[in-house]
Amino acid sequence: MPLWKIYHPVDAFSVEDKHALSQAITALYSRLPKFYVGVVFQEVARDSFFVGGEPAVRFVRIWVDHIARTLPTPEAKAWWIKACDEAMAPFIRDRGFDWEFHIDETPFDLWSIQGLRPPPANSQAEARWIAENKATPYELSTAAAT
């Protein structure tokens, strides 16, 4: 389950921008159920973001937590960072913002959704979750159990 936390200046993104960027991020994870992908936009007041001890008024900081999958090789990691940078570019780089981005990888066995353990990666149960494209993991886990 990737969770993207996007810290940005106040009014950097419109509601429409946030929706479009969250869709671009979700599209990066086309092999996962859509409900795995979360995006949080956190506005940071002009006087509350500093880099190197100086105000950072045109800076966007992105922190991503990966749980459902990990990036196994240096080549996969480089490819993924490039794909993420390209997806974000129209919303961040192309608008003149400076940015920084990093990914933490949490072990799969330290994860639950609404108190339920998700199915193993690439399993038949996960394929069923994806095919059903239900709105919540609870609905999906109930269906997978029957």
Cβ pair 64, 88 in contact under 8 A: no
Please check whether residues 87 and 31 belong to one and the same domain.
yes
Residue with the two structure tokens 């609870």: 138
Model pLDDT for residues 6-31, shown as the tens digit of each residue: 999 999 999 999 999 999 999 999 88
* 73 and 128 share one domain: no
Residues 49 and 62 in one domain: yes
Same domain, 121 and 62: no
pLDDT digits (tens, 9 = 90+) for 86-138: 999 999 999 999 999 999 998 888 888 778 778 877 788 877 866 775 544 44
In sequence order, what E strands does the chain have? 3-9, 38-44, 50-51, 54-55, 59-66, 98-105
Same domain, 82 and 39: yes
pTM for the predicted model, two decimal places: 0.81
Query: Are β-strands 54-55 and 50-51 bridged in parallel, bridged antiparallel, or unpaired?
Result: antiparallel
